[in-house]
Amino acid sequence: MVLVYVETTGGEIRKAGQEALTYGRKLADKAVTTCVALVLGKATDPAGAGRYGASRVLHAGDGALDAFESGLYASAIAAAARQTGARFVVMAHSANGKSLAGRVAVRLEAGCVSAVNDLPDLSGGCAVRKGVYSGKAMAEVQVLTPVAVLTVAGNAIQPVVVGDKAPVEPFAPELPARKVRVKGVDKVEGLVPLPEAEIVVSAGRGMKGPENWGIVEELARELGATTACSRPVADSGWRPHHEHVGQTGIAIRPNLYIAIGISGAIQHLAGVNRSKVIVVINKDPEAPFFKAADYGVVGDLFEVVPRLTEAIRRSKGSH
Amino acid sequence: MSTFAGTKTPGFDLNSLRMNILVGVIKTPDTTAKIAFTDNNTRLDTQGVAFIMNPYDEWYALVRALEIKEAVGGQVTLIAVGDAEYDQILRKGLAIGADDAIRIDTEAMDSFQVAREIARQVRAGSYDLVFLGKETIDHNGSEVGAMLAELLDWPFLSYANKLELNGEVATVNREIEGGVETMEVSPPFVLSAAKGLAEQRIPNMRGIMMAKTKPLQVVAPEQGDARVRFASYTLPKEKSSVRLIAPDQMDELVRLLKEEAKVL
Q: Say which CATH number the domain at A146 has.
A: 3.40.50.620
Terminal C-alpha separation, chain B: 46
Determine contact: B29 vs chain A, CB below 8 A.
yes
What is the tens place of the pLDDT at every residue in A98-150?
999 999 999 999 999 999 999 999 998 999 999 999 888 999 999 999 999 99
- CB-based contact B245 A186, cutoff 8 Å: no
B118 contact residues in A (CB cutoff 8 A)? none
pLDDT, chain A, mean: 95
Short-list B32, B24, B79, CA closest to B52 = B32
Give the residue-averaged pLDDT of A154-158: 91
Q: Out of B56, B196, B247, name the one closest to residue A304 (CB).
A: B247
Residue in B with minimal Cα distance to A111: B227
Model confidence at B5, pLDDT cuts 50, 70, 90, reads very low
- Boundary (domain end) residue, out of A120, A154, A170: A170
Q: How many domains does chain A have?
A: 2
Cβ–Cβ contact B237 with A under 8 A: no
Residue A28 lies in a domain: yes
Cβ contacts of A127 on chain B, cutoff 8 Å: 231
* Domain annotation covers residue A180: no
Q: Which of A55-64, B10-19, B194-203, B255-264 is the least confident region?
A: B10-19
The amino acid at residue A38 is: L
- Chain-chain contact of B55 with A266 (C-beta, under 8 angstroms): no
* A3-36 pLDDT, tens digit each: 999 999 888 999 999 999 999 999 999 999 999 9
- Look at B178 and A181 and tell me if their CB atoms are within 8 Å: no
Nearest to A101 by CA among A248, A1, A3: A3
Q: Distance (Å) from the C-alpha of residue A318 to the closest C-alpha of chain B? A: 12
Average pLDDT over residues B136-148: 92
Q: Which of residues 69-108 of B touch A (CB under 8 A)?
A: none
Q: Which of B154, B229, B242 to mutate to test the interface with A (most CBs of A within 10 A)?
A: B242
Considering the domain architecture, whether residues A201 and A285 belong to the same structural domain is answered as: yes
- My answer on whether A249 and A155 are in the same domain is no
**Domain with A255 in it: what CATH number?**
3.40.50.1220
Residue at A212 is within a domain: yes
- Provide the residue range defining the domain that includes A6: 2-170
pLDDT at A318: 62
Rounded distance between C-alpha atoms, residue B183 and residue B65, angstroms: 19
Establish if A183 belongs to a structural domain.
Answer: no
Residue A179 lies in a domain: no
- Assess whether A158 and A247 both reside in one domain: no
Residues A301, A281: Cα–Cα separation, whole Å: 6
Own/partner contacts of A278-282, CB < 8 Å, gap of 24 or more, are A279/B253, A279/B257, A280/B242, A281/A305, A281/A308, A282/A206
Report the length, in residues, of chain A.
319
The string of pLDDT tens digits covering residues B218-235 is 999 997 899 999 999 999
Which of A110, A139, A277 has the CB atom closest to B263's CB atom?
A: A277
Residue finishing a domain among A170, A204, A227: A170
- Answer whether B31 sits within 8 Å of A298, measured CB to CB: no
Residues A156 and A207 occupy one common structural domain: no
Q: Is residue A155 part of a domain?
A: yes
Per-residue pLDDT at B11 exceeds 70:
no
> Is A152 part of any domain?
yes
One domain for residues A30 and A152: yes
A86 and A41 within one domain: yes
Q: What is the mean pLDDT of chain B?
A: 92
> Both A72 and A143 in a single domain?
yes
Q: How far is CA A201 from the centre of its chain?
A: 17
Tell me what ipTM this predicted complex has: 0.91
Domain boundary among A106, A137, A170: A170
Report yes or no: B2 and B56 within 8 Å, Cβ to Cβ: no
Q: Mutation target for A interface from B117, B140, B262: give the one with most A CBs within 10 A.
A: B140
How does pLDDT run across B153-186, given as a tens digit for each residue?
A: 999 999 999 999 998 899 999 989 888 999 999 9
Instruction: Check B155 against A244: CB less than 8 A apart.
Output: no
Pick the residue of B57, B257, B259, B260 with the most A CBs within 10 A to test the interface with A by mutation: B257
Q: Which of A112-126, A184-198, B126-140 comes out lowest in average pLDDT?
A: A184-198
Per-residue pLDDT tens digits for A208-264:
999 999 999 999 999 999 999 999 999 999 999 889 999 888 899 999 999 999 999
Q: Give the pTM.
A: 0.91
Residue A62 domain-assigned? yes
pLDDT at B197 over 70: yes
Distance from CA of B148 to the nearest CA of A (A): 8
Shared domain for A121 and A241, answered yes or no, is no
Residues A48 and A86 in one domain: yes
Residue A319: pLDDT band by 50, 70, 90 thresholds? low
- Nearest residue on chain B to A193, alpha-carbon basis: B178
**Domains with residue ranges and CATH for chain B:** 3-233 (3.40.50.620)
CB contact under 8 A, B149 and A103: yes
The residue type of A194 is L
pLDDT at residue B16 greater than cutoff 80: no
Among the listed residues A194, A185, A187, the one whose alpha carbon sits nearest the alpha carbon of residue A249: A194
Q: Closest-CA residue in chain B for A15?
A: B177
Note whether B126 contacts A: Cβ–Cβ < 8 A.
no
Both A18 and A157 in one domain: the answer is yes
Specify the pLDDT at position B8: 39
Do residues A28 and A156 share a domain?
yes
Q: In this complex, do A294 and B243 lie within 8 Å of one another by their Cβ atoms? A: yes
Residue A198 and residue A287 in one domain: yes
